[in-house]
A and B are shown apart, each in its own frame.
Chain A
């Protein structure tokens, strides 16, 4: 009940504040801080309400045969908690980062947050799609759209999201036709018939577009590149993942019952997403675009988890989603910090920031190792669970079960490639080559690094306590109780790593400290200039030389894998067909008109 009231309360407040902002645009910054305090309180109260055992399952505000219902179950509770946490953290970050970047940022921010709560909590599909649609618009508004590139990216985002919303409405209509109800709790369809299959595909499109899985991923890299880092961290990295995967979880576990061919489709899309997106990420030079491709690639793991259909798989998918949200928004904030201080985003132009920005560097390296799945960090814990789920799935008898080695192999290969591209990210921005122009760069202000460090600690804690606390306390209530097949004791390993690092530092201190000396590098007798170096962006040129890879990259550059470009081409082709009819000759037009009249008459006759 409280959540429902809050939900209406937040947009109400926003509209009020938004009006104020539009009147007093100059004082936007001032009001935003007031709004911030308001939001902070509300978020905490939501969280409190959840913690005090707000267990009600069907919490109807207008109990009109469940027509408009808010549902609070384990899944939505978990998502709402994380929505709150990320809303707060990123808003704190925005306070310094976002000065004067986007008009009315805070009001759009709050509407986004409010609509997300609404989408997650609503049980009625119609209500859900309304909130979902609002989110599409706010996504458009959170990108500045002042220069050509960014407005093109915003337009692309709006069109892709809008089209997927349209398809979703179609899917919901089909569900209503079949079941006669729009309440998610009551719908449970087998995916065997053609009509239900169409509904499933339609809803799947919506969730894939939101989360950014292949083939509806192409708005994410553009959005990540051209929007401010805070928007990128807020929407594609955290909120849209939470929502898209939330909806995926709903449709794969609640709304529909999957059959083998559908599993096969989902699994294939999952591994294609993982590998293709990470291959694109390998060759990017803009660090935010690189992150954008990773935001796509990670979705593949979650899709894998959910499509396996076991409790372990669902828990693994959810866990990976939470972890991904933590490290991916952290990475976008890192990129934001770097851009904030240096004004540059290209990996080639950056370098050697590890000494001038130590906290950002620490955060970046934790996030990067985490996303690459290095034990004992959180990314490893959830990937490990997904692998366990795949192996577990492999003992089944269907065709997708028999192909488990394929899913496992490609998932792990994707993880190795992720590591490779993050070596580029870390090496290029923080380690390689000294650049004179960055001599004056300092660490960012506290309001910017604090969220980053908190997220990094989140990565560490989620990794260290993965098997002991997070799994039984946070995930099992959602997915159901299960026993993982493999063996992994995260806390013990973490303690041992800590001990060995301490011992290592002691070793350095005891044996070598007095014998440390700093010297210039020796490069085989050549003279070492300021600019001498081997740029990390050249690391993967070897890959481009392979024929298959060269083909892939060339096609990707021509945007053959981009739904937006493909549909644009198709539309242009259609309109060129239509324009051919406009020949400008009067007899042709008369023929068209008469033909149309005849057809009309024939239809009326029948």
Chain B
């Protein structure tokens, strides 16, 4: 139990994830700044943001709506992000002990943050938050199927094993899945699902700062909002790591392996950030059609290609 708690709170759990997630968030903001010919924030800016919200700012509660639910939702969201993060990172770092979850469990764990955003938004009693929540639900419905089909395709590629460490082991002995045609399609689908999961442009209609002033999070402030920020930092690291583990062959930590691991993660992050910075926001019905029809079609093509060993 003590060991699990250590995993959970220190490495690769809370402290590690928060730290790396913060750095990733900085990288994301820095790259965005470069794209827009700005200077960008200093390295520790995400941490300044977090601690300012947590320690300095006051927390304003909405007068309509359920306060307890409103405050507890971010806590559950953070717990969900942490657990999914650990379930992904333990096998990705080659640690076999501790608690494990297969990819189906990880898939479900990864939806918890979105769910808590929605419940928190509904508990806020603000109509704009409700609009945000409604869009977030619809977005979840639409990318969930695609995401799962992509995961199922990877399960079938790796010979019907569901443990993430098994999937990584298969890739390390036979080469990464991304090295085939179907693998490339799956990477594309996966990246777009990550984009939607993170709520990045073009799928940021649930937050849409310019339109519904941060939608789901409009009522959040102070400590509660700091937790949401932290969850978002972590997700920004967890999801690319999941992609690397599922399709890009995982990580190896010996000599040159460190560099490769770093490059893979940064490469995925760069891709996500560039998509985010070069696209407009689309409407929710467009997003639903995009995922439910086109992305699913793409995955099905990938599955069929895989069936013929391409």
Mark A residues whose CB is within 8 Å of B.
352, 354-355, 361, 365, 373-375, 380, 384, 387-388, 391-392, 394-395, 404-405, 408-409, 412-413, 416-417, 419-420, 423, 426-427, 430-434, 485-489, 492-493, 495-497, 499-501, 504-505, 507-508, 511-512, 515-524, 532-534, 536, 538-540, 542-543, 545-546
Q: What is the bound-complex CA distance between A518 and B58, given in angstroms?
A: 11
- Determine the residue in chain B with the shortest Cβ distance to A489: B99
Q: Contact between B65 and A409 (Cβ–Cβ < 8 Å)?
A: no
Q: What is the bound-complex CA distance between A516 and B105, given in angstroms?
A: 36
Q: Given A431-B66, A487-B101, decide whether A375 and B289 contact each other with a Cβ distance below 8 A.
A: no
Contacts of B224 in A (CB 8 A): 508
Q: Is the interface of B mostly helix, strand, loop or mixed?
A: helix
Mark B residues whose CB is within 8 Å of A.
1, 4-5, 8, 54-55, 57-67, 69, 71-72, 74-76, 78-79, 82-83, 99-102, 104-105, 107-109, 111-112, 115, 118-119, 122-131, 133-134, 137-138, 140-141, 144-145, 148-149, 152-153, 155-156, 160-163, 213, 218-219, 222-224, 227, 284-285, 288-289, 303
Name the residue in B64, B126, B222 with the highest tally of chain A Cβ atoms < 10 Å from its Cβ: B64
Q: Contact between A504 and B138 (Cβ–Cβ < 8 Å)?
A: no
Q: Contact between A423 and B105 (Cβ–Cβ < 8 Å)?
A: no
Q: What is the bound-complex CA distance between A538 and B138, given in angstroms?
A: 12
A156 to chain B, nearest CB (A): 31
Name the residue in A374, A433, A505, A512 with the highest tally of chain B Cβ atoms < 10 Å from its Cβ: A512
Q: What is the bound-complex CA distance between A354 and B131, given in angstroms?
A: 20
Q: What is the bound-complex CA distance between A533 and B127, given in angstroms?
A: 5
- Determine the residue in chain A with the shortest Cβ distance to B108: A375
Q: Contact between B105 and A488 (Cβ–Cβ < 8 Å)?
A: yes
Q: Contact between A501 and B64 (Cβ–Cβ < 8 Å)?
A: no
Contacts of A493 in B (CB 8 A): 83, 99, 101
- Determine the residue in chain B with the shortest Cβ distance to A427: B122
- Determine the residue in chain A with the shortest Cβ distance to B65: A431
A422 to chain B, nearest CB (A): 10
A314 to chain B, nearest CB (A): 19
- Determine the residue in chain A with the shortest Cβ distance to B104: A387
Q: Contact between A504 and B64 (Cβ–Cβ < 8 Å)?
A: no
Q: What is the bound-complex CA distance between A532 and B104, given in angstroms?
A: 40
Q: What is the bound-complex CA distance between A148 and B39, given in angstroms?
A: 72
Q: Given A391-B155, A423-B137, decide whether A496 and B79 contact each other with a Cβ distance below 8 A.
A: yes
Q: Contact between B140 and A405 (Cβ–Cβ < 8 Å)?
A: no
Q: Choose from B5, B122, B160 the contact partner of A394 (Cβ within 8 Å).
A: B160
- Determine the residue in chain A with the shortest Cβ distance to B13: A496
Q: Contact between B137 and A539 (Cβ–Cβ < 8 Å)?
A: yes
Contacts of B163 in A (CB 8 A): 486-487
Q: Contact between A521 and B219 (Cβ–Cβ < 8 Å)?
A: yes
Contacts of B57 in A (CB 8 A): 515
Contacts of B133 in A (CB 8 A): 423, 427, 539
Q: What is the bound-complex CA distance between A310 and B130, given in angstroms?
A: 44
Q: Contact between A504 and B75 (Cβ–Cβ < 8 Å)?
A: yes
- Determine the residue in chain A with the shortest Cβ distance to B4: A492
Q: Contact between B66 and A354 (Cβ–Cβ < 8 Å)?
A: yes
Q: Contact between B60 and A518 (Cβ–Cβ < 8 Å)?
A: yes
Q: Given A486-B162, A508-B223, decide whether A416 and B69 contact each other with a Cβ distance below 8 A.
A: no
Contacts of A539 in B (CB 8 A): 133-134, 137-138
Q: Given A487-B101, A497-B83, decide whether A521 and B125 contact each other with a Cβ distance below 8 A.
A: yes
